Amino acid sequence: MGNRAIGLKSLKEILANNLPSGPAEAPVPRKEREKAAEAGSPVPEQAPECPICLDRGIVFDGETAHPCSCMLRKSLANRFRHARISRNLRMCRFENFNLNYYRSSGDQGYLENARKALAAAQELVERSLCSPYGLGLLLTGSVGSGKTFLAAAIANALTEQGQQVLFLVVPDLLDELRATYDKRTETTEFDLLDTAREIPFLILDDLGAHNYTDWTRNRIYSILNFRMNEQLPTVMTTNLSLQELEDYLGERTTSRLVQMSRVFRLTSEQDIRLRQYQEREDRRSPRK
């Protein structure tokens, strides 16, 4: 349960910009200590991560000081952590959204739908950089059709531009909400709900066929209803149709999903993850 508490706290701290500390570092090598002493800087007790600025965060050009490049990298890394974008999803970019996976000899609609969804995602990023309010996206489609990839590409593009983004996987969010009733956790249900409601840009991944109860339906409704009323953009992905969503989440929640979003459906002849696996294995196989 201790690990669960740490995970919950990290979500609570997103708006407070407070990150857990990292692992201990190795002692400073003697040459690095001598270099710092010669420069008139305090001698660090731990090995510096950056050999350019020795972790001071600034470098000097004559009498002029300017931020070291490592500070930009750290700032971006912190934004990704706050956004809860996993290492794997950080690789998702619009330019890597491969339309070839949607080409089909039997149905040109796959490719056309993918093009429309990609254009809508790029337009949403451009619009969000100009205004914090507006419609979001609801991406529907079968498993392995590129929905999460496109949602992550939106999150990455906005995060790199300094926007506050939160990427939540719905089953994980529901688990964390339930865990708040454990008395050993510091985070309350309202902490989590308020964060999801008020973050400027929210992504809810895998709004699928889960074991929803009236309690979980009400929490999802609370998040979506608040964001709809405040016109805060939300991107959602689901492998369910609108009718199936209504069966699982209820009419009032599904109605709000449609009102607050533009709806696009992604489909492909084959699960894209399976196709990528096959391509990866083909590259590894020795050529005859």
The answer to whether residue 16 is domain-embedded is no
pLDDT (0 to 100) of residue 51: 76
pLDDT (0 to 100) of residue 4: 37
CATH classification of the domain holding 269: 3.40.50.300
Identity of the amino acid at 96: N
Q: Which of 18-32, 63-77, 274-288 has the lowest mean pLDDT?
A: 18-32
The answer to whether residue 104 is domain-embedded is yes
Which position has the higher pLDDT, 19 or 234? 234
Which position has the higher pLDDT, 18 or 89? 89
Which position has the higher pLDDT, 49 or 129? 129
The answer to whether residue 207 is domain-embedded is yes
Asked if residues 7 and 84 have their Cβ atoms less than 8 Å apart, the reply is no
Tens-place pLDDT, residues 95-123: 999 999 999 877 789 999 999 999 999 99
The answer to whether residue 17 is domain-embedded is no
Which position has the higher pLDDT, 42 or 108? 108
What percentage of the chain reaches a pLDDT higher than 70? 77
* Letter string b/e over residues 99-135, b meaning 16 or more CB atoms within 10 A of that residue's CB: eebbeeeeeeebbebbeebbebbbebbeebeeeeeeb
**Element of type H or E holding 173:** helix 170-179
Q: What confidence tier does 77 reach under pLDDT thresholds 50, 70, 90?
A: low
Tens-place pLDDT, residues 151-181: 999 999 999 898 989 999 999 888 888 888 8
Closest to 199 (Cα-Cα) out of 220, 181, 223 = 223
The answer to whether residue 191 is domain-embedded is yes
Asked if residues 164 and 199 have their Cβ atoms less than 8 Å apart, the reply is yes
The C-alpha atoms of residue 2 and residue 7 are separated, in whole angstroms, by 9
Which position has the higher pLDDT, 23 or 216? 216
Tens-place pLDDT, residues 219-262: 999 999 999 999 999 999 999 999 999 999 999 999 999 999 99
Q: What confidence tier does 211 reach under pLDDT thresholds 50, 70, 90?
A: confident
CA distances for 123 relative to 91, 229, 259, angstroms: 20, 22, 18
Question: Which residues constitute the domain of residue 258?
Answer: 84-275
pLDDT (0 to 100) of residue 6: 35
**Element of type H or E holding 284:** helix 272-284
The answer to whether residue 127 is domain-embedded is yes
Residue 200 CB: number of other CB atoms within 10 A? 16
Dihedral over Cα of 186, 190, 196, 199: its sign: negative
Count of domains forming the chain: 1
Start-to-end CA span in the chain (Å): 52
The answer to whether residue 30 is domain-embedded is no
The answer to whether residue 250 is domain-embedded is yes
